[in-house]
Amino acid sequence: MGRRVHREYGLPNANQIFLMLVIGGLWLLTLLRPHWLDFSSSIHGGLWGIVDEDSNVTQTSWTAYCETFTIHTNATATTMPATLDHARVLCEHEGGVLLPEVVRSLLATSVSLVFLALLCAMYLHLGRPTRPQVFVLGMVPFATILSASVLGIAAVWLWEARLGSMDHGDCYGCAWAACILALVTSISMLTSWRWPGLCSVPSERQAAVPGSARFRPRRADTEPSANGTDAPAEHSQPEPAGSFRQMP
């Protein structure tokens, strides 16, 4: 089945594939960048621990911090500013130390689902799947993106519910932006899969015109000739009927 016919089934377009790349990149950034919490200008907290950027960027895990309430660097141990307040919020609550691990697991699963949807969308967009594959695999991208958005929203909501009173860093905003983009993209993919043409680009909208088939050449006009080349078929003209003016 040709690529032109694929567009009539509302497959993921280039814009939606680009949005999936942006979503996966934002969530991956929030996993690796330790800027979920801002304790000071140089001390930040992330999903993996606490980092003091002024001391050789050495990271202290949340478990080690809650045991000693200090940030260990290569040279010395630095006491964290406002230690008791932060310890009350994260360390003294039951399951508080497990919160970064839970959020990290949810976001890692969301990133995996996004890249799975991206691979499926790239195959549908660039490959040549059959008609049953188009119908079945066409709903995989929006289903996985929707699942990723639900997991991402759950992760950010858990972080906000426990640490909402603290100063959030830029990773918190990036996580929310990725969740909203994932939700909007999944709705767009579902709409284009169920109702093709509503979320399509102009080239796809032109290819999905219902009456476009009547402008294609007829089969009789493109029949192969005897020597193997395509040549237009000859149309025989009927002989003119005789009239009373013709001589016998």
Which has the minimum average pLDDT: 77-81, 112-116, 162-166?
A: 77-81
In degrees and rounded to multiples of 5, residue 245 shows phi and psi of -85, -15
What lies within 8 Å, CB to CB, of 34 at 6+ separation is 44, 45, 46, 47, 48, 49, 50, 51, 59, 171
Q: CA 58 from chain center: how many Å? A: 33
SS3 content of the chain, % helix, strand, coil (to 5): 55, 10, 35
Q: CATH number, domain at 10?
A: 1.20.140.150
38 SS3 class: strand
Q: Which of 133, 174, 135, 130 is nearest to 155 (CA)?
A: 174
Please tell me the predicted confidence (pLDDT) of residue 44. 80
User: 102 with 109: CB under 8 angstroms?
Assistant: no
User: 223 with 37: CB under 8 angstroms?
Assistant: no
Residue at 17 is within a domain: yes
Please tell me the predicted confidence (pLDDT) of residue 178. 94
Residue at 198 is within a domain: yes
Query: Total domain count for the chain?
Result: 1
**Range 220-247 burial, b when 16+ CB lie within 10 A, else e:** eeeeeeeeeeeeeeeeeeeeeeeeeeee
Average pLDDT over residues 204-210: 55
CA angle at residue 173 from 183 to 178, to 5 degrees? Answer: 25
Residue at 60 is within a domain: no
Residue at 20 is within a domain: yes
Give the pLDDT band (50/70/90) at residue 132: confident
* Full-model pTM: 0.70
141 SS3 class: helix
Residue at 130 is within a domain: yes
Residue at 236 is within a domain: no
Residue at 131 is within a domain: yes
What lies within 8 Å, CB to CB, of 181 at 6+ separation is 19, 22, 23, 26
Please tell me the predicted confidence (pLDDT) of residue 214. 35
From residue 62, alpha-carbon distances to 34, 35, 116, 156 in Å are: 12, 14, 31, 18
Which has the minimum average pLDDT: 21-25, 139-143, 146-150?
A: 139-143
Domain that holds residue 118: 3-36+95-204
Residue at 146 is within a domain: yes
Q: Work out the mean pLDDT of the chain and round it to a whole number.
A: 73
- In the predicted structure, residue 245 carries a pLDDT above the cut 70: no
- Percent share of the chain, pLDDT over 70: 63
